[in-house]
Amino acid sequence: MRSVAEFGRRARDADAGKALRVRMPDNPVDLLAAQRAVRDLLVALGFDPSDEGLVETPRRVATALTELVTPLPFTMTTFANTDGYDQLVLARAIPFHSVCQHHLLPFVGVAHVGYLPADRLVGLSKLARAVDYCARGLQVQERLTIQIATYLNERLTPRGVGVVLEAEHMCMSLRGVQKIGAKTVTSALLGTFRDDARAREEFLARAGVQEKTPMPRCGALRVSRRECFNAAHQLCDPDLSEDGNRRLFGKCVNLHGHNYMLDVVVTGDVDPSTGYVMDLKRLSDVICDAIIRDVDHRNLNTDVPWLAGRIPTAETLAVAFWERLEPHLSDGTLHSVRVWETEKNWAEYRGGG
């Protein structure tokens, strides 16, 4: 497969005009072979190429595909930046089309192309021609985006180049998932646009593409997961007499049960690749593995080894649950553990710090 790099060769003139010539491919399309291939494809798909409506189809398809994959030659004319213009130059919403190399179906969209001049300026129409030149061929949008940016960067040597493509892919709209109207957006930022946040923000804003809002940092977000369990307990201090325990704990000195709720809060930075502080399904798994599996439908006084020797009040449980959870959290930081003993009573622990 021929790439744009193979189609184009840099050729700098020594004169002040500094025109760059774009060459055509060395190996032209074999139209007759292409027509035979289309005819064979029709037969393979169960159609009769001799039918009146299909007689000219091989020629038409071969001609159309040749047009779609053949770059158009043009002169990349640049001019001396005699007035020292150093602000953004942007061409917005340049229509383009290309052909997906995976399915040989078109993808169609618009390109936003900008640059920060240095010593040379380029004719504005050449930005559009550069997009068309790179788009003619079998492409993927990601590579096309980079190729347009690199093409302009090599020929203009500007302080920065920015390219954003927005396109609908027929291979996604008409087949497979068939999501008509879905747009794929890709960008390539070189030089100052890549290194300077303010320049990048200006380019994306003027191109009509808003940069993502920065994710909160420094633990600014908290996420919570609630799990429930049922357990029995009695409040009893072995160092006190029976009367002393009754005076201290009242009816809770008798074995009884509660429908507990456990709220676990994790704080941290948002992972930009997932949008999560922590996957709450994973947090649920950690809570269940470390706590719920051991305490659900158990006697907290006798059946849970890691509660042995502790009076199982809501306060004690909150501390014990924290100790069980903290070593297992690889994402985020444990912020608080709240144990609801009843809908009116809860105890919360936030660590010993």
Residue where the block lists tokens 């879905």: 182
Rama region for 332: left / alpha / beta (φ>0; ψ in -120 to 50; rest): left
Tell me the DSSP string of 18-75.
--EE-PPPSS---HHHHHHHHHHHHHHTT--TTSTTTTTHHHHHHHHHHHHHSPPP-E
Q: CA dihedral defined by 82, 87, 89, 93, rounded to 10 degrees?
A: -170
Phi, psi of 29 (to 5 degrees): -65, 140
The strand ranges marked E within the chain are: 20-21, 75-76, 78-80, 89-100, 106-116, 120-122, 138-139, 160-169, 184-191, 221-233, 256-268, 298-299, 333-340, 346-349
How many Cα atoms within 13 Å fall on the side-chain side of residue 74?
17
Q: Residue 170's Cα: distance from chain center in Å?
A: 21
Q: What pLDDT is recorded for position 3?
A: 42
The secondary structure element, H or E, covering residue 202 is helix 197-206
Distance CA(233)–CA(302), nearest Å, equals: 9
**Could you tell me if 353 and 322 are in contact, meaning their C-beta atoms sit under 8 angstroms apart?**
no
Asked if pLDDT for residue 10 goes beyond 50, the answer is no
* Confidence (pTM): 0.54
pLDDT at position 332 is 82
pLDDT reported for residue 277: 86
Cα–Cα distances in angstroms (integers) from residue 108 to residues 131, 170, 179, 319, in the given order? 12, 8, 15, 59
> pLDDT at residue 218 above 80?
no
pLDDT digits 0-9 by tens, 73-86: 888 889 999 999 99
Catalytic positions, please? 233, 252, 256, 258, 296-297, 341
What are the pLDDT digits (tens) for 226-236? Answer: 999 999 999 99
Does residue 186 surpass a pLDDT of 70?
Answer: yes
Query: Which amino acid is residue 108, in one-letter code?
Result: V
pLDDT tens-digit readout, 293-303:
999 999 999 99
Integer CA distances (angstroms), 279 to 262, 290, 342, in order: 18, 17, 28
Q: How far is Cα 154 from Cα 9, in angstroms, rounded to an integer?
A: 11
* Beta-bridge mates of residue 298: 231
Catalogue all structural domains in the chain, each as residue range(s) with its CATH number: 79-206 (3.30.1130.10), 221-349 (3.30.479.10)
The per-residue pLDDT for 28 is 79
The string of pLDDT tens digits covering residues 247-291 is 999 999 999 999 999 999 999 888 777 788 888 999 999 999 999
Reduced to 3 states (helix: H, G, I; strand: E, B; else coil), residue 274 is: coil
| pLDDT, tens digit (0-9, with 9 covering 90-100), for 52-74 | 999 999 999 999 999 999 888 88
- pLDDT confidence tier of residue 210, bands split at 50, 70 and 90: low
Structure tokens at 129: 């021609």
